[in-house]
Structure 1
């Protein structure tokens, strides 16, 4: 399976936050992976909206995991961040014509 950049950056962000304690800035995460800060901002917004991370504003703010690292379900993250709907037709109850 091939992931979109959006899902890839989401997983990288979550891994970075899991390894580093406290609040981390988007610039710090982008610099660590050599990726676009602007694109990472969009990914972080979506992660916040979906409840995977928390964003704290202000001088001492940044991003942090919303739950313990061992509670993050990678499959749920990928399904949420990928915009393809169901990966297999059989898993979509509204359009399922799969004979299996």
Structure 2
């Protein structure tokens, strides 16, 4: 869903004008962290954008090789992320038990 720069600038905790938000979005698009799927669409993160967000907010590269979570631990992690970042976390496990892998998908509902 598109979010106007004016709305984003007036959100709680933001003290910037809408032009600042538009300029930031333009810079993110220039470095290929955001893109617009079509002319009338808003901007959405690229895979590199999601990778950057995860790397910036979580120290996953340092802990991921050593972290073999149980299902209950992932539920606790998801419950902790949801209110803090106002996102819904969906965690998936591989079908084959011999593989090691975890996929976390973050969905923004604002």
**TM-score for both structures, normalised by structure 1:** 0.39
The answer to which structure has the higher helix fraction is 1
Q: With a CA cutoff of 8 Å and minimum separation of 6, indicate the structure with the bigger relative contact order.
A: 1
**TM-score for both structures, normalised by structure 2:** 0.36
